[in-house]
Structure 1
Amino acid sequence: MAYGIKLRVWGDYACFTRPEMKVERVSYDVMTPSAARGILEALHWKPAIRWVIDRIHVKKPIRFESIRRNEVESLASRKKKFINVSEERQLRSSLVLRDVEYIIEGHFEMTDRKGEEDHPEKHYNIFLRRARKGQCFHQPYFGTREFPVHFELVEDEIEVKETVHPGIVDLGYMLLDQTFILNSKGEVKEVIPHFFRAQMVDGIIEVPQLREVTG
């Protein structure tokens, strides 16, 4: 039995920030696999499973819009639990995506942290039940928290029809995922990004496995 899922996601705005842009936020043309994984994890995640993105269907034309937003200079952390918004507020421009819709195809793998009660059927059915009811552990978002995700489970075969993105589109190098290196205290010591050369063929991006990129 296969444990693949298909989830339709859509929203008014999205910003999948390119890491090379240091000051102003500039979005990738489409949702990144790591962002897609984050959406699935918002619906159901346990240490026993790891979500893997297989492909992303881009259902709407790629449209950019420039907006200006207030942001704070620093992030909250264990060492800095309080942020003085009035002192750290900064007005920044962002180039974001407008009116987006995708279908995420993915599956999960069992990890070495699974227990005796962790069976693939159990986690598969939990995800299906939550997706059908519109339930999530926290609100999924498109890149930043102010851009919420609407979602619904796709239970039928994806209809093959004329795409808004015919042919082959080279999207350049895109963030696939990140590896977090921890220190002896369990704190993040280093973050290693992994990239892949993304191509959209007739509106579909085939996502490589992380092990194919890292060797």
Structure 2
Amino acid sequence: MKNFCLEVWGDFACFTRPEMKVERVSYDVITPSSARAIFEAILWKPAIRWHVRRIEVLAPIKWINVRRNEVGAVISERNVKTAMNQGKGNLGLNIEEERQQRASLFLRDVKYRIHAAFEMTDKAGDGDTSVKFSEMFERRASKGQCFNQPYLGCREFSANFKLVNPKEETAPSISECRDLGWMLYDLDYGDPKDPKPLFFRAELKNGVIEVPAFDSEEVRG
């Protein structure tokens, strides 16, 4: 599989730890699933599946504490169905009644270099080839085109990106090593009605995380 490389950066990021039930607390670095979503924002097709291989941290890991207001409820599914069937209904939320103040621990001034590749799926048609999608991705990424705005964990934290030639000399990653513990890898959609979270033991070695393959023993449910 051909390797593609993107450099992504932004002012803020939050790759939320699933074990934190109320407050938003980010992982130290971007997760493989969030990195994959950036590639999919540029090019997603049923015929291909992206796999993140390596994450390079280019900026020092910095934090910021933020306290902000959030809405603590969603519109009732029953109300939505009633409105669809009857052509009328109350689909509004009173923000003043549902407002909750929460503290969050975000990352700030992040910058990563992400390496990924795609494989063809069983949904590929007769005219679908890896060369076709490779050229399509490179063309779109080089022009800054995307189907939806890539983001860094939360949609309000938009991500800037640029295509990088992995063979060219680039800025070095940070010279830091740390054990990041168990990190969310991705979700297993083997059962679409009940997706299962997958985790792997992430280690930052001289600013680089080597991401294991989806079917490797290092990835556990």
Q: Secondary structure at the match of 2:56?
A: strand
1:185 maps to what in 2? none
What is the aligned partner in structure 1 of residue 87 from structure 2?
A: none
For the pair 1:66 / 2:70, whether they are aligned, the reply is no
Aligned equivalent of 2:29: 30
CA–CA distance in 2 between the matches of 1:76 and 1:101? 36
What is aligned with 1:157? 167
Q: TM-score, normalised by structure 1?
A: 0.89
Q: Who is 1:191 aligned against?
A: 195
Secondary structure, aligned partner of 2:179: strand
Q: Following the alignment from structure 2 to structure 1, what is the Cα–Cα distance between the partners of residues 204 and 74?
A: 34
Listed as ranges, the matches of 1:1-215 within 5 Å are 2-75=1-74, 79=78, 81=80, 82=91, 84=93, 86=95, 87-157=97-167, 159=169, 163-166=173-176, 168-180=177-189, 182=191, 188-212=192-216, 213-214=219-220
Aligned identity (percent) is: 52
Aligned residues: 208
Q: Distance in 2 between matches of 1:85 and 1:37?
A: 36
Q: Provide the rounded CA distance (Å) in 2 between the counterparts of 1:128 and 1:76.
A: 40
In structure 2, the CA distance between the partners of 1:34 and 1:79, relative to structure 1 (3 Å rule), is farther
* Residues 181 and 109 of structure 1: CA distance in aligned 2, closer, same or farther (over 3 Å): closer
Cα deviation for residue 204 of structure 1 reads 0.6
CA contact (8 A) 1:59 1:103 kept: yes
- Larger displacement relative to structure 2 (89-98 or 72-81): 72-81
CA distance in 2, matches of 1:131, 1:77: 39
* Contact persistence 1:14–1:98 (CA under 8 A): yes
Q: Normalising to structure 2: TM-score of the pair?
A: 0.87
Task: Flag structure 1 segments of 5+ consecutive residues without an equivalent.
Answer: 183-187
Per-residue deviation, residues 109-153 of structure 1 (Å, max 9, x unmatched): 001111111110111111101101001000010011110000000
Letter in 2 for 1:170: D
* Alpha-carbon distance in structure 1 between the residues aligned to 2:160 and 2:169: 20
In 2, Cα distance between equivalents of 1:153 and 1:102: 12
Name whichever of 157-166 and 54-63 sits farther off.
Answer: 157-166
- CA distance in structure 2 between the aligned counterparts of 1:79 and 1:39, rounded to whole angstroms: 33
Report deviation, 1:88: 2.2
Shift of 1:69: 2.1
The residue type paired with residue 179 of structure 1 is: D
Q: Secondary structure at the match of 1:152?
A: strand
The structure whose Rg is larger is 2
Unaligned regions of 5+ residues in structure 2, if any? 81-90
Letter in 2 for 1:207: V
Contact 2:173 2:208 in 1 (8 A): no
Q: CA RMSD in A?
A: 2.0
1:48-101 deviations in whole A, cap 9, x for unaligned? 000000000000100110012222223468656545151322221110001000
**Any idea what SS the aligned residue of 1:45 has?**
coil
Structure 1: how far apart are the matches of 2:169 and 2:48?
29
